[in-house]
Structure 1
């Protein structure tokens, strides 16, 4: 497995979806440190606090679109205001159950943000992790 992926953050208000995504990641590579946030507000606060400390930052963020307080797009807006350190270190993949083309297109506007449907698959993750080499 790709050893450059050390830490992944999952931001999803649905605890079951976090659990499933974590299990699939751990099935691929159990050495990956997974940070689960059920609040997008708490997740962005963590990133704001450690935005210049690369050993604390996730290599990937798996982000849900539909969340209370700050939805996935609000999270991306706040993320884009962070330092260049975090923006060059951390990649974002939106995971969603949406079938709404408007949301899917909005998610794909930023070419640095990936999009995948829930639940994430082993094949998708392996391909994604291999692209980071």
Structure 2
């Protein structure tokens, strides 16, 4: 499996993002990690660099329930972008609501839905999926 260049976590839970970033290091997940605490921060970062594939993330791990701009609102903005490279999006949420899973399935941009906490095996699966694509 190839190590990803840039990964992005969009999640307001600072403890979760800290633990996930440590797990990513253990499995050699990525070279660089971007962390945003709500969807609006991520949109403001991504929008001006859409034409620069070398600095866009390879993968986004997105929480659904956040302040300011939640995961659904982020997705609604993100899918409008004309991105210069493929960015794989995974939902990583504590939501076990069947409606959230059904709604996620309606977005072509979403590759999979993981329930928190995410494991090292989950990270390895994500790496394998992206490498195979």
Q: 8 Å contact 2:38–2:70 — kept in the other structure?
A: no
Task: Report the number of matched residues.
Answer: 130
Give runs of aligned pairs for residues 94-133 of structure 1, distance below 5 A: 94-113=91-110, 114-133=112-131
Report how far residue 119 of structure 1 moved: 1.1
Give runs of aligned pairs for residues 60-71 of structure 1, distance below 5 A: 60-71=59-70
Q: 8 Å contact 2:59–2:87 — kept in the other structure?
A: yes
Runs of 5+ consecutive residues of structure 2 not aligned to the other structure: none
Give runs of aligned pairs for residues 1-133 of structure 1, distance below 5 A: 1-3=1-3, 5-29=4-28, 32-85=31-84, 88-113=85-110, 114-133=112-131
Report how far residue 39 of structure 1 moved: 2.4
* Change over 3 Å in CA distance of 1:125–1:31 after alignment to 2: closer
Q: Which moved more, 1:70-79 or 1:22-31?
A: 22-31
Q: Which moved more, 1:101-110 or 1:72-81?
A: 101-110
Report how far residue 42 of structure 1 moved: 1.1
SS at match of 2:41: helix
Q: 8 Å contact 1:8–1:59 — kept in the other structure?
A: yes
Runs of 5+ consecutive residues of structure 1 not aligned to the other structure: none
Question: Aligned Cα RMSD in Å?
Answer: 1.4
Separation (CA, whole Å) in 2 of partners of 1:124 and 1:82: 27
Separation (CA, whole Å) in 2 of partners of 1:39 and 1:100: 21
Report how far residue 105 of structure 1 moved: 1.2
Separation (CA, whole Å) in 1 of partners of 2:122 and 2:30: 18
Q: For residues 61-96 of structure 1, what are the alpha-carbon distances to aligned partners after superposition, in whole Å with 9 as ceiling and x for unaligned? A: 0000001121101100100111142xx421100100
Report how far residue 2 of structure 1 moved: 1.3
